[in-house]
Amino acid sequence: MSMVIPQFVLLLSISRKYSINPTSTRNIDNSNDTSHGGSYVGVEQMGFLWSMTQVPGQRKGLRLSKKDVTKPYSIQLNCFDGHLSPEDGFVNSLAKNSLQPIVSSELEKMYMAEGVRRIPVREGRVRGTLFLPPGNGPFPGVIDMFGTAGGLIEFKASLLASHGFAVLALAYFAYDDLPKYLPFCELEYFEEAADWLVKHPAVVHHGIGVMGVSKGGEIALMMAAHRADIVKAIVPISTCLVINASAFKAQVTLLNLHMPHTVSHLITKVLRKLNKGSFFPGKALVTDVYLEYQDLRRVHTQPGKETENRASKTLRGLGEMLVTLGSEKVDIKENENESVTRLVAWLSSSNMADITSADSFVSTKVTKHCETERPEKKSKVRKKRKTPKKPVVEINSRKDRRIINEFHALNKKIDSLRRNTLIQIKDRPTQIAALEAKKEKLGGINAYQKASKLGEARHGSFNSAKWILKQMRDLDVCKVKPDPTEATEGLRLLDVGALDNNYKKHQKWIQCTPIDLNPQSDVVVKADFLKFKGNNLYDVVVLSLVINFEGDVHRRGKMLRKCQELIVDQGYLFIVLPLPCLNNSRYLNDDLFVSMMESLGFKVCACHKSRKLSFYMFRKTGHAQVKSFPKRVLRKGGNHNNFAIVL
pLDDT digits (tens, 9 = 90+) for 460-479: 445 788 888 888 887 777 65
Q: Can you say how many angstroms the Cα of residue 232 is from the centroid of all Cα atoms in its chain?
A: 28
| pLDDT at position 60 | 75
Evaluate if pTM is beyond 0.85. no
Q: Please list the alpha-helical segments (H only) found in 492-615.
A: 553-566, 580-583, 590-599
Instruction: Give the model's confidence band at 287: pLDDT under 50 very low, under 70 low, under 90 confident, else very high.
Output: very low
- CB 211: neighbour CB atoms within 10 A? 22
Instruction: Give the model's confidence band at 27: pLDDT under 50 very low, under 70 low, under 90 confident, else very high.
Output: confident
Q: How many CA atoms lie within 13 A of 359 on its CB side?
A: 12
Query: Measured between alpha carbons, how far is 216 from 303 in angstroms, rounded to an integer?
Result: 29
For the annotated binding site for S-adenosyl-L-methionine, the residues are: 497, 516
Tens-place pLDDT, residues 340-362? 444 444 444 433 333 233 333 33
Cβ-contact 168, 190 below 8 angstroms:
no
| H or E stretch at 203 | strand 203-213
Tens-place pLDDT, residues 601-635? 898 888 888 888 899 999 898 777 778 888 899 88
Q: Can you say how many angstroms the Cα of residue 23 is from the centroid of all Cα atoms in its chain?
A: 62
| Class level of CATH domain 461-620 | alpha beta
Instruction: Give the model's confidence band at 138: pLDDT under 50 very low, under 70 low, under 90 confident, else very high.
Output: very high
Cβ-contact 541, 592 below 8 angstroms:
no
Tens-place pLDDT, residues 385-427? 655 554 444 444 566 667 666 776 777 777 667 666 665 666 7
Out of 24-38, 150-164, 191-205, pick the least confident.
Answer: 24-38
Cβ-contact 215, 245 below 8 angstroms:
yes
| pLDDT at position 483 | 41
Amino acid making up residue 451: A
Query: Measured between alpha carbons, how far is 219 from 197 in angstroms, rounded to an integer?
Result: 16
Look at the domain 8-109 and name its fold: Immunoglobulin-like (2.60.40)
| H or E stretch at 191 | helix 187-198
CA angle 592–595–599, rounded 5-degree value: 140
Could you tell me the sign of the dihedral formed by the alpha carbons of 291, 295, 299, 302, in that order?
negative
For the annotated binding site, the residues are: 497, 516
Q: How many CA atoms lie within 13 A of 409 on its CB side?
A: 9
Beta bridge partners of 250: 253
| pLDDT at position 272 | 38
One CATH from 3.90.180.10, 1.25.40.10, 3.40.50.1820, 3.40.50.10490 for 117-249: 3.40.50.1820
Give the Å distances, CA to CA, from 370 to 247, 266, 294, 503. 27, 18, 13, 39
| pLDDT at position 283 | 29
Burial category of 14 from C-beta neighbours within 10 Å (exposed 0-12, middle 13-18, buried 19 and up): buried
Tens-place pLDDT, residues 419-450? 666 656 667 777 777 877 887 777 776 666 66
Tens-place pLDDT, residues 549-579? 787 888 899 999 999 889 988 889 999 998 8
Q: Residue 212: left (phi > 0), alpha (psi -120 to 50), or beta?
A: beta
Cβ-contact 93, 122 below 8 angstroms:
no
